[in-house]
Amino acid sequence: MKQHNSRYLPQSSPSDRPSFVSDHRSAMKEIARGQSLVTQLRAIVLPALQADQRCELVAQMFQDILDCSSKAITELQLQHQSDARPEDALVDDKKRVRRISSDDCIKEEGATANPHHQHKRRRSDDLVSLETPVPHYDGRQWRKYGQKHINKAKHPRSYYRCTYSKGQDCKATKTVQQQDESTGTDNPVMYTLVYHGQHTCKDNNGVNSGTDKSETSSDSRSSISTTCTDPCDHQTSLGDNKLIEKSADLVTKSMYEPLDMNPFAPLDLDSWELDTLLRFHLEPDN
């Protein structure tokens, strides 16, 4: 019998107890778990709220929580990188973290070089990673610009940039990669999200999406129309997606119908994501 939580939480394995590892590592893991929980909770709560100011406040609070934990992780990573090997990095994308950290002080963001050939490795202090079963419900609009098979990874990595990257020169990007170990029937599909840079854009309603004050604010107002069409993220082909989305759409519609979802209508959590969450939360232990 599995514990209920084990169905949807990134796990801290017993072997990760801090007896042989640094406090940094266990602290970062716990924070990451918290981020994952908040992400999932947000995906459930926001669409169910009435569209009013309280709703916006809730969304803002969710984002603030994520901001806090992200900053905490960043701080821990910076400290950790200075006194430990980078292979203790939070995500399993170890090689990349190592490369980024070595690249850290060499080139700065916004280099005036050719805009089409900016440096490929990015600063680690612009990097925030988290694990979640709902990779696309993060309150942002993203546009996919690439997908690549990563060495030794079963699933391709998808590359997204802010929808407003052109119009507002927003530098925020993110990568989404399905975790290899999440393919079992018992475990939820987990994704590793890595965010780079901060949003400098304003969303559709002219609300600053967050820069220094609050890295990713205004969840409640921005539309979450991130369309997830890459097969890896949905675990299905595009054609299958349509069928799944249709059936799942019935579920989500029946949930949402009583509500006036004005500000959240665009949020429109991908039905498969909500379905995934619901299954993990509602199904009895197996």
Residues that bind DNA in the complex, under the rule CB under 7 A: 95-96, 98-99, 102-103, 106-107, 115-122, 143-148, 150-152, 157-159, 161, 163, 173, 175, 196, 226-227, 229-231, 238
Q: Which residues pair with 192 in a beta bridge?
A: 131, 177
CB of 166 to DNA, least distance (A): 8
Between 1 and 106, name the residue whose CB sits nearer to DNA: 106
CB of 3 to DNA, least distance (A): 33
Query: Crossing angle, helix 271-282 and helix 23-48, to 10 degrees?
Result: 110
Q: Which amino acid is at 279?
A: R
Q: Which two tokens stand for residue 222?
A: 């921005």
Cα gap 180→173, rounded to integer Å:
22
Between 22 and 231, name the residue whose CB sits nearer to DNA: 231
- Measure CA 62 to chain center: 13
CB of 94 to DNA, least distance (A): 10
Between 108 and 285, name the residue whose CB sits nearer to DNA: 108
Between 49 and 134, name the residue whose CB sits nearer to DNA: 134
From 231, 210, 229, 232, select the one nearest 219 (Cα to Cα): 210
Between 22 and 204, name the residue whose CB sits nearer to DNA: 204
CB of 22 to DNA, least distance (A): 24
Q: 252 CB contacts (<8 Å, ≥6 apart)?
A: 47, 269, 271, 274, 275
Between 60 and 225, name the residue whose CB sits nearer to DNA: 225
Cα–Cα distances (Å) from 201 to 21, 29, 256, in that order, read 39, 30, 29
Name the residue with tokens 């595009």.
Answer: 238
CB of 6 to DNA, least distance (A): 29
Q: 169 CB contacts (<8 Å, ≥6 apart)?
A: 200, 201
CB of 201 to DNA, least distance (A): 13
H or E, element range at 160: strand 157-162
Cα gap 151→87, rounded to integer Å:
17
Between 12 and 227, name the residue whose CB sits nearer to DNA: 227
CB of 265 to DNA, least distance (A): 15
